[in-house]
Structures are given as C-alpha cells and as structure tokens.
Amino acid sequence: MSLVHTSAAELGALVASGEVSAVEVAQAHLARISTVEPQVNAFLHVDAETTLAQARAVDARIAAGERLGPLAGVPIAHKDVFTTTDMPTTAGSKILEDYRPPYDATVTRRLREAGLVILGKTNLDEFAMGSSTENSAYGPTRNPWDLSRIPGGSSGGSSAAVAAYEAPLSTGTDTGGSIRQPAAVTGIVGMKPTYGGSSRYGLIAFASSLDTPGPFARNVLDAALLHEAFSGHDPLDSTSIDAPVPSVVEAARNGDVAGLRIGVVKEFGGDGYQAGVLARFHESVELLESLGAKVVEVSCPSFTTALPAYYLIAPSEASSNLARFDAMRYGLRVGDDGTRSAEEVMALTRAAGFGPEVKRRIILGTYALSSGYYDAYYGQAQKVRTLIARDFEAAFNQVDVLVSPTTPTTAFPIGERADDPMAMYLADLCTIPTNLAGNAAISVPCGLADEDGLPVGLQIMAPVLGDDRCYRVGAAVERALEGRWGGSLLSKAPVL
C-alpha cells in the first residue's frame, strides 16, 4: 500500500521505527496534492518548502532520541481559520487575503509540538459560515466522490483533503455541524468534541459560545489520536474546561457496545429526509442491536426548534465578533483617499471584503440584537437553548448515547442551494442541537444511499465530557461495517 493510503496510526509507527522518514511521508502527500488539487481544490495554501522543513525537523528530533507522540511525522491539512505564523490565514475571506498572523493558535501549536507536519491550509465557507464551501471567496471545493457536488461545509476543504487521500488527518471547526456534516457527505470520520474541550485561542471567531475545534480522519482510531493530540485545558481560552481529556484513544481501540443503552431521537426522520439516508441509518441501529446494545426510542421535543434558535444565536454572536474587521489594524482597507472618514472607509471595506452570506448574517444578528426585538428573538432563542440542554439531560438519564442520521440528505450538487439560504441551513438540522447544548458528537460512515451511491453518516451524540462514548460506538460500527464491506467505505470511491 502506498504512503498516502496508509492510516495516520501506521504512518506514525513507521516514522517512529525509522522505517520511513517524515520527509518521505510529506513528499508522498505533496505529490498526491499536486495530482488531485486541480480537480478537488481542497487547499487555499500549500508551500512544499515550509512543509518539508517541518518534516526535516521532526526527523532530526527523532534522530536525537526525543520521544514524540504517536502522530510524529504524520502530515495534516489545517483548516484556514486557525492562525499560523508561517502560512497565511484567510478564513476564506477577501478581507483577510494574504494576512499573516503574529501568533499561532493553540491547536496549531499543539500540532507542532506533537510533531505533526502541516501540509497547508484548507478551504472553508467564509468565516466558517455555510454548509458547502461555496461561500469561500476563493472558489468552491469539490467532493471527491462526485466532483459536481459539495464536500460539505464549512470545513469542506478539510473533509475533501482527507477523502481524496491528500492528507490522512485534518482539522476542522464545528459551530452548527461544520465538522460532522462534511465528514458525513465525504464518507469519513469527523468529531465535534465537548465545547471547551479543545481551545478556541487563535481560532478566528464566528460564534464564540458554539465554535469547537475537532478532528477529521479516515478511521475512528486516527480521529481519536488527533483529538487527544490537540485537546485539553488551555489557560489562553477562558471557556476551556480544566479537566482531563476523555480517554478517546482507549475507547476507539475498545469498540465494545454490549449492554450500552442507545437512544434513537424520534424527532429526526420523516419529511425532508432522503430515503437512502434513512435506510442506512435504520440498518446501523439494527447493527448496534445485533452487537449487544439496547436500543430505545427517545423524544427530544425541543430539537424541532433548534434550527431557528441557532439562526438567531449564531448570527447575533457573529455580528458582534466580526465588528473587529474594521480596516484599521490588519486586513483589507478600501477607499482611504485622504478625504473619507474612518467610518466611511470601514463601511466601504466591509462591503468589499465580506461575501453575501457573511453580510446576511451580520445584518440578521444586528436585527436580532436590536432593542425592541432582543427579547422576542435573541432572548427567546436563549430560552430554547435551555430547553434543548434539558432534553439532552433527560435523554442521557435514560441512555448512554443518542443516534441519528448526521444529515438529512447526501451531498447536493454545487449551485443547487447557493442562493437559497434557508435550504442551505437545513443541512445542519440534526447537528445543531449538540452545538447549542455543548455536548460531544461524532459522524462515522454508515454506507451509501441507494438513489445516488453517495456516503451517509451516522451521528452518535454523548453527554458533556462523554467524548469517549462517541469513539467507542463509532469504532463498533466501523469494525462491523468494514467487515461486511471488505474494507473502508472510502475504498469504494472513484479513483482520482
């Protein structure tokens, strides 16, 4: 098997044993990137020299006898919303074109410390707002399963890079489903950790009470290894949880669901769900039952108002967070001709630098926070948020994990929902409750839909700091299904 088809865990072992150098692994992936990028467009920035310098440094550290983690020498694609001092950081926006941050995000720093080799920065919906990467100012990324379709979003560059074997691992951020939805529609694993379990320091903010960094990988164990590598308490993030990282790697190796209580969320299914998605979902539930899990139906009535609550809360926070793009200290400045005021320059710059979805959300958030509307919109949405957290609490009194389809449909064609914001927002129907409540959830591949032959994701939701349960159940599903399929789901994808 070639290096680009090897798992992250195996690559780490090969590098640690000296059988292969980190430089050789990086070179193989850089070559793969050159081959497939013209079709996929997963990356906004690749710089072979910077990557190879990192790989040489890892080889030197290993040669010097330094004991590095299990992912030392493993390449990774990094979502272009985390700051990096040695590569541009754009958040997919024209307002940050060519921006070089003066500091590394905590996630970036921890990747470096663990000896991961950053291949480049991946495409995303501008400021992580979207479900398709079509909102990137730098053009859409394409789904490796079908190049005419979206790879999900907002972390669509990261999902496509892993699905196209350009990188064994990638980072993402999940505010309303931006890791789980792209993972589902590209046939890979994507995890949204418990809010506060991974640091937001140096993550360009969209909605601060929801934004959560997390891993993408082609299998559950690799995702757990990456999760462990960059998670844990960070004094630089005041919402970081000061508690040990749940034992996710152990859970991914274990994968035993005998006796586990699994709840099927009654509210997710029916109208608006693709038949092939529901068929694969129901099969997964039967599979878990056959592996010894106890399955019951659970009702979470407030989940039906999660989507409207989210589209008030997230834009409200965004309208405040994006006020920092003021054309004064960094980023784009437009119209500064010596006669215009700072306020005029600010308004011209923001109009030129932000794309349509970002503008829509800033206006929507400003509206929801306006005096006179605040109680009816933002205040009421915050109450719904409490009800959703209570529904989760009640559910987790009865069961250990909840399951649902990750997305109502498989990957849709590029352009289909581009000018219909409400249709686009529905892609996050099943993922949003977890963001509002702050608990953990993973998406693992569970098959291909009969209608279109495209990947379907199974979502597994666990309580706050119960991240290990997501990996345990995910590993069980993966092991059983790969046994049936005779390999990974991704091995059925067209060869690029």
Partner 1 sequence: MSAITRDEVAHLARLSRLALADEELDHFAAQLDVIIGAVARVAEVAADDIPPSSHALPLTNVYRPDEVRPGLTPKEALAAAPAVEDDRFRVPRILGEEA
Could you confirm whether 17 is annotated as catalytic? no
Give the single-character DSSP code of 379.
Answer: I
**DSSP H or E stretch at residue 15:** helix 8-17
Q: Contact with partner 1 (CB under 8 A): which of 382, 416, 485, 492?
A: 382
Between 314 and 343, how does the x/- string for binding to partner 1 read (CB under 8 A)? -----x---x--xxxxxxxx--x-x-xxxx
Q: Does 344 help bind partner 1 (rule: CB under 8 A)?
A: yes
Determine which one of 7, 131, 132, 154 is catalytic: 154
Of 39-47, 123-131, 172-180, 350-358, which part binds partner 1 (CB under 8 A)? 350-358
Q: Closest approach of Cβ 130 to partner 1, in Å?
A: 14
Alpha carbon of residue 308 to chain centroid: 21
Could you confirm whether 154 is annotated as catalytic? yes
Nearest alpha carbon to residue 180 among 199, 165, 193, 167: 193
Residue 421 has which token pair?
């914001």
Name, in order, each residue with C-beta under 8 angstroms of 204's C-beta and a sequence gap of 6 or more: 81, 82, 83, 89, 91, 96, 127, 128
Phi first, then psi: give them for residue 444, nearest 5 degrees.
-125, 150
Residue whose pair of structure tokens reads 């790989």 in the numeric block:
55
Q: Closest approach of Cβ 364 to partner 1, in Å?
A: 6
Q: Closest approach of Cβ 418 to partner 1, in Å?
A: 12
| Residues 145 to 174 in contact with partner 1, rule: CB under 8 A | none
Q: Closest approach of Cβ 103 to partner 1, in Å?
A: 8
> Quick one: residue 415, left, alpha or beta (phi over 0 = left, psi -120 to 50 = alpha)?
left
Sheet holding 212-217, edge to edge: 43-46, 117-122, 75-79, 169-174, 212-217, 189-192, 440-448, 455-462, 401-405, 261-265, 294-298
Determine which one of 7, 93, 131, 178 is catalytic: 178
Q: Kindly tell me the sign of the dihedral angle through the C-alpha atoms of 479, 183, 426, 436.
A: positive
**Cα angle vertex 202, ends 355, 469, to 5°?**
100
Q: Closest approach of Cβ 310 to partner 1, in Å?
A: 9
Q: Does 366 help bind partner 1 (rule: CB under 8 A)?
A: yes
**Residues 127, 175: contact at Cβ < 8 Å?**
no
| Residues 179 to 218 in contact with partner 1, rule: CB under 8 A | 195-196, 209-210
Alpha carbon of residue 118 to chain centroid: 17
Q: Contact with partner 1 (CB under 8 A): which of 145, 230, 273, 354?
A: 354
Looking at the Cβ atoms of 310 and 412, the one nearer to partner 1 is 310
Looking at the Cβ atoms of 70 and 197, the one nearer to partner 1 is 197
Looking at the Cβ atoms of 139 and 356, the one nearer to partner 1 is 356
Between 398 and 437, how does the x/- string for binding to partner 1 read (CB under 8 A)? -----------------------xx-------------xx
Phi first, then psi: give them for residue 483, nearest 5 degrees.
-60, -45
Q: Does 397 help bind partner 1 (rule: CB under 8 A)?
A: no
Could you confirm whether 93 is annotated as catalytic? no
Looking at the Cβ atoms of 95 and 403, the one nearer to partner 1 is 95
**Residues 43, 33: contact at Cβ < 8 Å?**
yes
Q: Closest approach of Cβ 64 to partner 1, in Å?
A: 28
| Residues 433 to 472 in contact with partner 1, rule: CB under 8 A | 436-439, 464
Q: Does 363 help bind partner 1 (rule: CB under 8 A)?
A: yes
Distance between start and end Cα atoms, the chain: 16
Q: Contact with partner 1 (CB under 8 A): which of 38, 102, 486, 494?
A: 102
Q: Closest approach of Cβ 232 to partner 1, in Å?
A: 16
Q: Contact with partner 1 (CB under 8 A): which of 2, 17, 238, 397?
A: 238
**DSSP H or E stretch at residue 401:** strand 401-405
Q: Closest approach of Cβ 300 to partner 1, in Å?
A: 13
Residues 2, 21: Cα–Cα separation, whole Å: 14
Q: Does 473 help bind partner 1 (rule: CB under 8 A)?
A: no
Catalytic residues: 79, 154, 178
